[in-house]
C-alpha cells in the first residue's frame, strides 16, 4: 500500500520511514518482563542494549498498564525522572519517550530531557498536551475508548471501531497542535487492546491504512499483546512470531513507529518489509 509520508521530527531529528521504539519498564510487575528492568541499573543496561540493536526511541514507563498495585505520582516520578536524565547523558543520540498520562510526570520528565510524552490512555489529563506544548516536545495521542487508566474494558462495543479511534485521536492531535505542540512531533496510536477486545484490535490492524491516510504519523504498540495471544492460542512468552507478523502488516499499511520488546527482531522484520515492497512513498 502506498500512503503519503508525513514529516516526523523528534528530538531535533527527522525520522525516516520506520522508527523502532524500545520498551523499558521500571516496574516490578510488567506483563512481559516480570520486573527484569525494574532496577535502575538494569533499566539503564536495557537502554544500552536497545540502542546497540538499532532502536531509534526508548520508551520509559513507570506504571504497569494493567490493573495492579497503586502507583502514585511521587512513586512514578521516582522511577522515571532520574532514568530519563541518565539516558540523555549516556545516549545523547537516542530519542527519549516517557509512557505516562499524568501532567505532573510529563512536566518533570520534560525538564529532565524527554523528547516525547506517550499518553497511551487517550488524554485523561488534558494538561499533558499543554506540558508538551510548553516544552516544545512531542506527544502521542492514543485511543482507549474513554477508559480510566489501568482498567480493562467490560463488554465494550463500537458501532465502528476505526471511526471511533480516528475521531478521537485526530481531535486530540489537532488540539495539541493548537496548543503549540509542533505538528511534526505529534503521533496517533490506535492503542491495540486498550478499551478494545481481540476482535476490535484485529479490525484496527486490518484497517490501519485508514489511520495512515489521515495525515499524521502512526505509532503501533502491539508487542506480545493479548489480541495476538488469543488469536494464535499462545502464552505471552510465545507471541514473538505473531508480533512480527502484525508489525509487517502495520508497516505495509503505512505505520511509522513501532513500540516493541524485541528490537533486533523488529529491525529485521522492518528491513524485510522495506526490501519486499515499501509501505510509504517508494524507493
8-64 per-position pLDDT tens digit: 999 999 999 999 999 999 999 988 888 999 999 999 999 999 999 999 999 999 999
Q: Which residues pair with 257 in a beta bridge?
A: 19, 219
Mean pLDDT score, 175-190: 98
In a domain, 1, yes or no: no
- CATH number for position 239: 3.20.20.20
pLDDT of residue 80: 98
In a domain, 251, yes or no: yes
Q: Provide the whole-model pTM.
A: 0.95
Helices in 114-180 by DSSP H: which ranges?
A: 127-135, 161-179
Alpha-carbon distance of 250 to 246, in angstroms, equals 6
pLDDT of residue 5: 75
Q: For residue 50, what are the domain limits?
A: 15-276
207-249 per-position pLDDT tens digit: 999 999 999 999 999 999 999 999 999 999 999 999 999 999 9
Structural domain count, the chain: 1
pLDDT category, 281, cuts 50, 70, 90? very low
In a domain, 8, yes or no: no
- For residue 250, pLDDT beyond 90: yes
In a domain, 7, yes or no: no
- 61 in helix, strand or coil? strand
pLDDT of residue 51: 97
> Is there a contact between 139 and 132 (Cβ–Cβ < 8 Å)?
yes
In a domain, 83, yes or no: yes
In a domain, 129, yes or no: yes
pLDDT of residue 2: 58
pLDDT category, 154, cuts 50, 70, 90? confident
pLDDT of residue 4: 63
Would you state the cell numbers that stand for residue 186, as one nine-digit string?
A: 505529534
Question: Residues 227, 257, 54, 236: what is their CA dihedral angle, to the nearest 10 degrees?
Answer: -10
In a domain, 159, yes or no: yes
pLDDT of residue 34: 80
pLDDT of residue 283: 37
In a domain, 281, yes or no: no
Amino acid at each position: 500500500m502506498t500512503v503519503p509520508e508525513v514529516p516526523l521530527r523528534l528530538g531535533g531529528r527527522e525520522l525516516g520511514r520506520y522508527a523502532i521504539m524500545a520498551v523499558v519498564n521500571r516496574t516490578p510487575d510488567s506483563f512481559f518482563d516480570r520486573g527484569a528492568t525494574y532496577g535502575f541499573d538494569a533499566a539503564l543496561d536495557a537502554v544500552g542494549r536497545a540502542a546497540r540493536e538499532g532502536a531509534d526511541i526508548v520508551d520509559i514507563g513507570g506504571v504497569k498498564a494493567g490493573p495492579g498495585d497503586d502507583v502514585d505520582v511521587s512513586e512514578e516520578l521516582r522511577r522515571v525522572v532520574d532514568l530519563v536524565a541518565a539516558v540523555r547523558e549516556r545516549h545523547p543520540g537516542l530519542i527519549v519517550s516517557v509512557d505516562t498520562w499524568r501532567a505532573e510526570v510529563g512536566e518533570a520528565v520534560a525538564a529532565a530531557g524527554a523528547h516525547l510524552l506517550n499518553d497511551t490512555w487517550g488524554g485523561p489529563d488534558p494538561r499533558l498536551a499543554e506540558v508538551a506544548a510548553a516544552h516544545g516536545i512531542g506527544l502521542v495521542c492514543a485511543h482507549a475508548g474513554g477508559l480510566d487508566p489501568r482498567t480493562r474494558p467490560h463488554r465494550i462495543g463500537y458501532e465502528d471501531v476505526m471511526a471511533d479511534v480516528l475521531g478521537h485521536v485526530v481531535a486530540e492531535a489537532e488540539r495539541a497542535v493548537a496548543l503549540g505542540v509542533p505538528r511534526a512531533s505529534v503521533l496517533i496510536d490506535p492503542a491495540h487492546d486498550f478499551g478494545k477486545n481481540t476482535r476490535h484490535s484485529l479490525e484496527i490492524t486490518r484497517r490501519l491504512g485508514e489511520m495512515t491516510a489521515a495525515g499524521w504519523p502512526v505509532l503501533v504498540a502491539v508487542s506480545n499483546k493479548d489480541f495476538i495471544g488469543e488469536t494464535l492460542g499462545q502464552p505471552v512468552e510465545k507471541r514473538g512470531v505473531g508480533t512480527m507478523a502484525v508489525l509487517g502488516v502495520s508497516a505495509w499499511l503505512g505505520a511509522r513507529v513501532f513500540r516493541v520488546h524485541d528490537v533486533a527482531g523488529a529491525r529485521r522484520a522492518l528491513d524485510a518489509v522495506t526490501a519486499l515492497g515499501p509501505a510509504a512513498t517508494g524507493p
